[in-house]
Amino acid sequence: MRRFAVALALLALAACDDPETAQAPPPPQELSADAVGHYCGMIVLEHSGPKGQIILKSRKEPVWFSSARDAVAFTLLPEEAKDIQAIYVSDMAKAPTWDEPGTTNWVEARQAFFVIGSDKSGGMGAAEAAPFSDRSVAEAFAQDHGGEVVAFADIPHDYVLGSGEGHAQQGATHAPASSDAAPAMSGASEHRH
């Protein structure tokens, strides 16, 4: 009987690692006129540029952001919730325009390609981390608007938590954008709107 219990436990552990049995993240929500930015307290749709939403285990509704950069900042700040199920940002590869980024075209941030240091501003006029589901579209955007293409984990903390200006020209140090890394807190208060 004991061997049977051990075998059953091993099968259960193997199932946890099986991608087919792994639980998919909750889907993104459609952006509506009721969405209020977590940091700015304003209606998200009133701002141009890419938006963000984070779905937490502890909340029924998403946490909304008036910029993709704000969504990334949320993952870095130690005082924010860490029970993140999904991080969605506007897929600018499918956006009608910069000023109208769309309400249903989301990409999981950890699978997106971000253009940082471009000449485009996000919500509230700050430097943006423009997300794209397609690397070639991100590269074309960077060619037209300046900046560099990076993965989510390669967005520098100082770009997100500081002023974010001049990154492409100054070559700031890259630090992974993950919740378990200690963020550079200088400039975090500048970032909050």
Residue 189 lies in a domain: no
Name the domain count of the chain: 1
Residue 2 lies in a domain: no
Residue 95 lies in a domain: yes
Residue 6 lies in a domain: no
Is pTM beyond 0.85? Reply is no
Residue 18 lies in a domain: no
Q: What is the pLDDT of residues 122-161, one digit of tens each?
A: 877 889 999 999 999 999 999 999 999 999 999 999 999 9
Residue 60 lies in a domain: yes
Residue 67 lies in a domain: yes
For residue 74, what is the domain's CATH number?
3.30.70.2060
Q: What is the pLDDT of residues 53-70, one digit of tens each?
A: 999 999 999 999 999 999
Percent of the chain with pLDDT over 90: 69
- The Cα–Cα gap between 80 and 121 comes to 24
Residue 141 lies in a domain: yes
For residue 36, pLDDT beyond 60: yes
Q: Which domain holds residue 61?
A: 25-182
